[in-house]
């Protein structure tokens, strides 16, 4: 009995946080204040079963995990707000997988370690006369489609950032600047890769040219304290255009970026990145996306995006989280549709080396979601990678249940 109490102590601690938060705040506000004035609390549960099968000596992984997230927000005044978010990840059943910290190295990796973590803890200061917001503390930062900077929200323990962020919004412009001194990675809260400290600067500018066109520019300067191999400076630009059509719209995206070595990086390099994609309606209820992405390499080093939401790119089997030194070309197609009340997405990728065009492998994947009337959301996902010259044949399957109070 005692072992069961210990096992779920973290869940009980997280679930009790909103009561503590509200109880501590009631004395600050007058009794005639509304519920919204006193604060807002949400509790989110996300259970996931993940299976990994690879053609290597590792045993097949089966990870059964539950993430409990409590988010509490409180407006201290018309200009200052506070937010606290705590996550607890619990393993349900046996941990038959390598979480990167549980020493089960005979299994394939599923990077969802057990633990309790402060996901966000920040103060937001609004500057009304300047349409700006300053955030100070630990926060979630998602830039655009998260190709260069994101929270890796797919993993049970999210990636968040410690630092200062300034956002300025007008009708046509958006400016987003941040100084980051620590990255809380998905491998935490404990373990050698849980944190990456350093001096990081990020900048994003968005310009709405018209109702159909937008232009974005960004800069990332990464100077890590103990991760010199990822020190770099990256500059990029994106252009988006939408053309109305009788059955929807045609959307096109063009992205180009340049990455150079910086700070203490042991190598000298200059690599480029580009992405072209177009999304168009097909039939009546479906969309087709076609595209190509290139991360250049020279056989010694390659274009890297270490703080991106990498699961969203180059397939779902996560075999290209680190760009191979020969670079990577990804030619992809994706079809999105609905069958009844079930949205489905089917994707296909062909992966090639950038240097000699040899084929790394192929992946196809499928994702389906369904929302029950109770508010419970179900997700099923499957991905199959067939190796040619990179990694090994890999199959992954997921079943996920999410519910928010």
Q: Hey, do 1-208 and 209-215+236-405 end up sharing a CATH topology, with the first three levels equal?
A: yes
Rounded to a whole number, what is the distance in angstroms from the first to the last CA of the chain? 28
CATH topology of domain 1-208: Porin (2.40.160)
Label each residue of 244-269 as H, E or C. EECCEEEEEEEEEEEEEECCCCCCCC
For 305-364, the pLDDT digits (tens) are: 999 999 999 999 999 999 999 999 999 999 999 999 999 999 999 999 999 999 999 999
Class of domain 209-215+236-405: mainly beta
Give pTM, 2 decimals: 0.90
Beta bridge partners of 244: 249
CA distance 224 to 289: 36
Beta bridge partners of 259: 234, 271
pLDDT at 38: 62
Q: What is the DSSP string of 135-179?
A: EEEEE----TTSSSS---TTSSS--EEEEEEEEEE-SSEEEEEEE
- Measure CA 175 to chain center: 21
CA distance 176 to 167: 5
For 246-288, the pLDDT digits (tens) are: 888 999 999 999 999 999 999 999 999 999 999 999 988 899 9
Low-confidence spans in the chain with pLDDT less than 50: 1-33, 35
Tokens representing residue 269 in the block: 């390099």
For residue 46, what are the contacts with CB-CB under 8 A and spacing of at least 6?
Answer: 66, 67, 69, 156, 400, 401, 402
pLDDT at 22: 38
**Domain ranges, ordered by start, for the chain:** 1-208, 209-215+236-405
pLDDT at 34: 53
pLDDT at 206: 98
Burial class (CB in 10 A: 0-12, 13-18, 19+), 119: buried
């Amino acid at each position: 009995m005692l072992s069961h109490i210990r096992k779920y102590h973290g869940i009980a601690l997280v679930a009790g946080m909103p009561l503590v938060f509200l109880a501590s705040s009631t004395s600050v506000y007058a009794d005639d204040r509304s519920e919204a004035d006193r604060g807002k609390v949400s509790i989110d549960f996300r259970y996931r079963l993940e299976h990994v099968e690879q053609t290597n000596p590792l045993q097949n992984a089966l990870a059964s995990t539950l993430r409990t997230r409590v988010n509490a927000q409180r407006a201290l005044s018309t200009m200052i707000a506070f937010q606290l978010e705590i996550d607890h990840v619990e393993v349900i059943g046996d941990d038959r997988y390598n979480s990167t910290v549980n020493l089960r190295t005979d299994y394939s990796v599923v990077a969802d370690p057990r633990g309790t973590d402060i996901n966000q803890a920040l103060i937001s200061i609004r500057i009304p006369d300047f349409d700006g917001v300053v955030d100070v503390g630990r926060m979630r930062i998602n830039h655009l489609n998260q190709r260069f900077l994101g929270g890796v929200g797919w993993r049970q323990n999210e990636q968040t950032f410690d630092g200062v962020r300034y956002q300025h919004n007008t009708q046509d412009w958006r400016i987003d600047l941040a100084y980051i001194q620590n990255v809380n990675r998905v491998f935490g809260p404990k373990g050698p890769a849980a944190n990456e400290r350093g001096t990081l600067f990020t900048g994003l500018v968005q310009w709405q040219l018209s109702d159909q066109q937008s232009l974005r520019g960004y800069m990332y300067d990464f100077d890590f304290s103990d991760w010199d191999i990822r020190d770099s400076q990256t500059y990029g630009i994106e252009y988006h255009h939408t053309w109305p059509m009788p059955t929807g719209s045609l959307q096109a995206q063009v992205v180009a970026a340049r990455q150079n070595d910086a700070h203490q990086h042991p190598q000298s390099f200059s690599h480029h990145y580009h992405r072209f994609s177009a999304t168009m309606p097909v039939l009546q209820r479906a969309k087709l996306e076609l595209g190509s992405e290139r991360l250049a390499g020279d056989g010694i080093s390659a274009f890297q995006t270490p703080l991106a939401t990498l699961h969203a790119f180059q397939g779902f089997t996560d075999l290209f989280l680190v760009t191979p030194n020969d670079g990577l070309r990804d030619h992809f197609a994706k079809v999105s549709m609905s069958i009844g009340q079930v949205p489905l997405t089917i994707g296909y990728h062909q992966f090639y080396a950038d240097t000699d065009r040899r084929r790394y492998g192929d992946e196809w994947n499928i994702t389906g979601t369904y929302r029950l009337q109770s508010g419970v959301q179900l997700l099923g996902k499957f991905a199959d990678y067939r190796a040619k010259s990179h990694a090994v044949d890999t199959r992954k399957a997921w079943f996920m249940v999410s519910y928010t109070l």
